[in-house]
Structure 1
Amino acid sequence: MGLGVWFTFVAACVVFSLAPGAGTVASINNSMMGGIKAALRGLIGLQLALALHILVVSFGLGALLASSAVFFEIVKYTGAAYLIYLGFIKWREKGTLNVGESSNTSVYGQLIKQGFVVNLMNPKSIVFLAAFLPQFVNVNNSPTEQYMILGITVIFIDSVVMVGYSLLGLFVKPYLSNQRFMCFVNKLFGALFISMGIVLAKAE
């Protein structure tokens, strides 16, 4: 893989990561609710799922998902249902801060799990990567090494972008002591998660 090809890939990855999605909503919400520590725990889950997607694509299973309508529908509707579930939970939260800057390992474990499931159950991500990554693989060289380089690049760029989104959430955090504002925030992010779930369910 030439350096010029890699830079083209980097540019495409930036656009892919900047596009708002469920991971974006989760990152901003986590930083607003629990600060940068909570956001980073959620980020771990998001990137673990992304790494699994890349492994799936590198072993050719992404093509199976893209070609199997039944498999795609099962993953799609499961992911959509989970996002809608998160949305209703968020919508019903009272106007109080539920996650603080504590080192509560059970809460942080839940954030990692939530981030993992949010990204994992997005079949469009796998289908996109299955169509996207092979375009930058030179068949005359080692595919394994190239997929490793591409995978590390995707994860690094997506992590940087999600941290950027998380920092946006920190700007709003000082206002969270206002109960009315918190109630508005909870309903806003609940609606966003539900909307993401509906969009995913309607995706072709």
Structure 2
Amino acid sequence: MISIEFLITSLVVVLIPGTGVLYTVASGLFIGKRASLYAAIGCTFGIVPPLLASVFGLAAIFHTSALAFQFVKYLGAAYLLYLAWSMWRSSSPLAIESDQTELSARSIMLKGFLINILNPKLSIFFLAFLPQFVSPNVAQPLVSMFALGLVFMLMTFLVFVLYGFMAGSFSAFIVRSQKASMAIQKVFAGSFAALGLKLAFTER
């Protein structure tokens, strides 16, 4: 049974702005509500590999192997810095051409997916987080962990969509105002760079 404590804790965790929220909001601002939906989908599915790794105990490798953890950590940091650089150098970093909607939708989802799977701390988070809410008397703990993980993913998706749609409401203003677009673009680029550097230089 899923407890109220799990739901409240998960909601607090999901509401805290991170790279996924930042990416979803940026998509909503610079492209629109539909793009933020794609970003939310990508970020949510990016939870699946860390969740599976945690449920089956593979995340313990990151906890015990400094080399494996450092490799994934630096790869994730490099990807965030790449996103920051791409956003900084372009006048419209997330603009979608009208005749490339399908391709761009895949691209938006893929970027959101990569943002989460290249963060090794997400696997360790699930490894430490989920077992706390699994009863020691439950007959099938793996099933319980999967159920908790799916609820966490659903909550993540709904919150990210809310963030993205709120940002998308300002999209028309951002697109019309080049000054506003450029200023906000630089802020998001700087934020991605800061998160990338934080991931690269912080310990576990």
Query: TM-score when scaled to structure 1?
Result: 0.92
Instruction: Measure the CA separation in 2 of the matches of 1:85 and 1:164.
Output: 26
How far apart are 1:139 and its partner, in Å? 3.7
How far apart are 1:69 and its partner, in Å? 1.2
Instruction: Measure the CA separation in 2 of the matches of 1:84 and 1:18.
Output: 23
How far apart are 1:50 and its partner, in Å? 0.4
- SS of the counterpart of 1:104? helix
Runs of 4+ in structure 1 over 3 Å off? 100-103
1:61 corresponding residue in structure 2: 58
2:141 corresponding residue in structure 1: 143
1:78 corresponding residue in structure 2: 75
- SS of the counterpart of 1:61? coil
Instruction: Measure the CA separation in 2 of the matches of 1:193 and 1:143.
Output: 37
CA RMSD of aligned residues (A): 1.7
Specify whether residues 132 and 101 from structure 1 end up closer, same or farther in structure 2 by C-alpha distance, changes over 3 A only.
Answer: farther
Contact 2:44 2:157 in 1 (8 A): yes
Residue 59 of structure 1 aligns to which amino acid in structure 2?
Answer: F
Structure 2 residue 173 is matched with structure 1 residue 175: yes
1:113 corresponding residue in structure 2: 110
1:132 is aligned, of 108, 122, 129, to: 129
Structure 2 residue 195 is matched with structure 1 residue 193: no
How far apart are 1:126 and its partner, in Å? 1.0
2:95 corresponding residue in structure 1: 98
Identity among equivalent positions (%) equals 31
How far apart are 1:76 and its partner, in Å? 0.6
2:41 corresponding residue in structure 1: 44
Residue 135 of structure 2 aligns to which amino acid in structure 1?
Answer: N
Contact 1:37 1:101 in 2 (8 A): no
2:12 is aligned, of 1, 11, 15, to: 15
Instruction: Measure the CA separation in 2 of the matches of 1:75 and 1:93.
Output: 27
How far apart are 1:110 and its partner, in Å? 0.5
Residue 47 of structure 1 aligns to which amino acid in structure 2?
Answer: T
Q: Give per-residue Cα distances to partners, 1:103-138, cap 9 Å, x unaligned.
A: 711111100110000011111111111111111122
Instruction: Measure the CA separation in 2 of the matches of 1:96 and 1:23.
Output: 17
How far apart are 1:100 and its partner, in Å? 6.2
Residue 170 of structure 1 aligns to which amino acid in structure 2?
Answer: G
Instruction: Measure the CA separation in 2 of the matches of 1:48 and 1:12.
Output: 20
Bigger shift: 46-55 or 114-123? 46-55
- Count of aligned pairs: 201
Contact 2:86 2:93 in 1 (8 A): no
Query: TM-score when scaled to structure 2?
Result: 0.92
Bigger shift: 38-47 or 134-143? 134-143
